[in-house]
């Protein structure tokens, strides 16, 4: 990037700067090596949802008696390069405008992750610098209590919140941050061999962590579960990143399990924990996994904004300890609908006795409880599932700890180690986010080969989720 002065600095850049100046510098100066990863995919989803909500906000404002005072997508560009596109502006008729920012969240997000107040402050500053007089600023967000019934009612779907004074409170600070951000972006070089997340836990690291910290070994102290910031700082002060250099006495009991595994390069197994888990598992065992869909605009009657609705499940049934040919049942909703048909399908395939096994079962149990609330007639069955559910992930917290899982208990980390012949790699649908995105396309496709192919890909993915559980369950049972 040769001359930053002539480059636009947008609101998206500013929010990126607030999250991490170095990451923004890398994106702007070296876009070819910037590691676009999961965070970028998530940002795309948020942005796509924003456009959807915007359509309803436009409908809402266009129906107001003062409809002709509203403008959509007004652009403010300033001498020094600030660039802001306001979702909606209102001409107040006295030389001032109001700015409306439309969000796909169900409340105003004030935390550092989204920082919608700073985001609005950037809009205001850009508008003022471009010559506008801003009277008020509003954030338009989704009403979390709205329940869809037939057509979407924009007046009920949306909440308009006045954030004028909150924005005023952070305006001076935001101006300073914009100046700092532009100064950093104007630098042709920065220190590319370290970054401030060095002292933070793994969950804070962005996709650029490895780029800025190429010398951190793998695995490292960041793979110790629930390690505190203070503990990380202590290790860094002593120059300790390599797990082989850390004493067992320096970490918590749970971290010590990962440490022992790293140092011995073997799994650490607690037979008591394993035995307790398997003693609770009663046959027939139902390995169950849901896929859910959540959208800013509720897809079907009965749904709320951003509330997940199960649209698919896979179920492997192991009737006896020695059974090799497991029954498999599956369901995929062909249309957007609340999950009544899915529940009935499950009722036909899950008997009144036996354990249900899920991975990260809190997710499946939340769906079961939500469905039980929505369908009181089905509550006994669904709440029964909750009571019968065992979480297979729990085994990997203390019963079977292997550094090969990278300090994680995600099935995506455990499966390649315990059943390397099974893989999600190369699948057309390979994650929950993929499944959600695929289903949104699927229900709008016309009948044909392309739809059939997508259906197969979705069924294959969910089936692998439960078959993976079966294999892991068996592998650990052998242990």
Distance CA 302, CA 146 (A): 9
CB 232 to ligand SF4: min, Å: 13
Q: Does residue number 464 form part of the binding site for ligand SF4 (CB under 6 A)? A: no
Query: Which residue is it, tokens 């202590």?
Result: 234
Contact 44, 118 (CB under 8 A): no
Question: In terms of CB distance, is 153 or 184 closer to ligand SF4?
Answer: 184
In this chain, which of 15, 99, 208, 336 binds ligand SF4, going by CB under 6 A? 208
Long-range contacts made by residues 250-254, C-beta under 8 angstroms, separation at least 24? 251/224, 251/227, 252/226, 254/225, 254/226, 254/397, 254/398
In this chain, which of 34, 70, 122, 212 binds ligand SF4, going by CB under 6 A? 212
**Which residues 6+ apart lie within 8 Å of 292 measured at CB?**
308, 309, 310, 311, 367, 432, 436
49-108 residues in contact with ligand SF4 (CB under 6 A) are: none
Q: Does residue number 409 form part of the binding site for ligand SF4 (CB under 6 A)? A: no
CB 19 to ligand SF4: min, Å: 6
In this chain, which of 205, 328, 412, 463 binds ligand SF4, going by CB under 6 A? 205
Question: In terms of CB distance, is 212 or 293 closer to ligand SF4?
Answer: 212
Q: Does residue number 22 form part of the binding site for ligand SF4 (CB under 6 A)? A: yes
Q: Which range, of 17-25, 121-129, 155-163, 453-461, touches ligand SF4 by CB under 6 A?
A: 17-25
Binding-site residue total for ligand SF4 (CB under 6 A)?
11
Question: In terms of CB distance, is 100 or 209 closer to ligand SF4?
Answer: 209
Distance CA 217, CA 195 (A): 16
- Residue 181: count other Cβ atoms within 10 Å of its Cβ: 19
CB 26 to ligand SF4: min, Å: 7
CB 10 to ligand SF4: min, Å: 19
Contact 313, 462 (CB under 8 A): yes
In this chain, which of 17, 23, 98, 465 binds ligand SF4, going by CB under 6 A? 23
**Rounded (10°) CA dihedral 61, 64, 70, 73:** 10
Q: Does residue number 196 form part of the binding site for ligand SF4 (CB under 6 A)? A: yes
**Which residues 6+ apart lie within 8 Å of 79 measured at CB?**
129
Q: Does residue number 232 form part of the binding site for ligand SF4 (CB under 6 A)? A: no
Distance CA 252, CA 227 (A): 9
In this chain, which of 139, 163, 206, 346 binds ligand SF4, going by CB under 6 A? 206
Residues that bind ligand SF4 (CB under 6 A): 20, 22-23, 195-197, 205-206, 208-209, 212
């Amino acid at each position: 990037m040769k001359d930053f002065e002539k480059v636009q600095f947008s609101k998206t850049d500013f929010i990126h700067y607030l999250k991490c100046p170095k990451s923004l510098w890398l994106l702007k100066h070296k876009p070819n090596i910037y590691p676009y990863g999961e965070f970028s995919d998530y940002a795309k989803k948020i942005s796509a949802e924003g456009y959807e909500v915007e359509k309803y906000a436009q409908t809402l404002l266009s129906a107001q008696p003062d409809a002709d005072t509203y403008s959509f997508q007004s652009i403010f560009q300033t001498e020094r390069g600030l660039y802001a596109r306001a979702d909606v502006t209102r001409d107040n008729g006295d030389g001032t405008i109001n700015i409306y920012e439309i969000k796909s969240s169900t409340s105003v997000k004030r935390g550092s992750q989204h920082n919608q107040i700073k985001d609005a402050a950037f809009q205001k500053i850009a508008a003022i610098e471009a010559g506008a007089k801003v009277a008020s600023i509003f954030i338009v967000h989704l009403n979390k209590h709205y329940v869809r019934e037939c057509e979407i009612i924009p007046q009920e779907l949306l909440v308009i919140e006045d954030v004028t004074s909150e924005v005023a409170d952070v305006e001076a600070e935001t101006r300073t941050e914009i100046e700092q951000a532009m100064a950093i972006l104007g630098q042709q070089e920065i220190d590319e061999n370290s970054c401030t997340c060095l002292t933070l836990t793994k969950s804070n690291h962005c996709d650029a962590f490895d780029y800025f910290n190429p010398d951190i070994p793998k695995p490292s102290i960041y793979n110790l579960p629930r390690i505190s910031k203070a503990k990380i700082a202590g290790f860094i002060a002593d120059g300790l990143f390599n797990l082989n250099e850390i004493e067992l006495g320096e970490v918590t009991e749970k971290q010590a399990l990962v440490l022992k595994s790293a140092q011995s390069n073997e799994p650490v197994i607690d037979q008591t924990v394993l035995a307790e888990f398997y003693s609770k598992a009663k046959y027939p065992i139902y390995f169950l996994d849901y896929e859910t869909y959540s959208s800013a605009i509720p897809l079907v009657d009965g749904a709320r904004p951003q509330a997940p609705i199960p649209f698919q499940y896979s179920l492997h049934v192991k009737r006896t300890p020695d059974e090799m040919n497991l029954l498999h049942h599956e369901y995929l909703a062909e249309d957007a609908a609340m999950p009544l048909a899915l529940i009935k399908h499950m009722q036909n395939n899950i008997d009144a006795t036996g354990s249900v096994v899920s991975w990260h079962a809190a997710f499946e149990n939340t769906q079961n409880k939500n469905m039980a609330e929505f369908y009181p007639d089905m509550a006994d069955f669904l709440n029964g599932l909750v009571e019968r559910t065992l979480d297979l992930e729990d085994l990997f917290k203390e019963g079977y700890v292997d550094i090969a899982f990278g300090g994680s208990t995600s099935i995506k980390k455990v499966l390649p180690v315990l059943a390397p012949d099974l893989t999600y790699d190369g699948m057309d649908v390979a994650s929950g986010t993929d499944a959600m995105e695929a289903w949104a396309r699927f229900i709008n496709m016309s009948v044909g080969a392309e739809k059939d192919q997508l259906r197969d890909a979705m069924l294959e993915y969910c089936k692998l989720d439960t078959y993976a559980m079966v294999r892991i369950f068996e592998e650990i049972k052998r242990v």
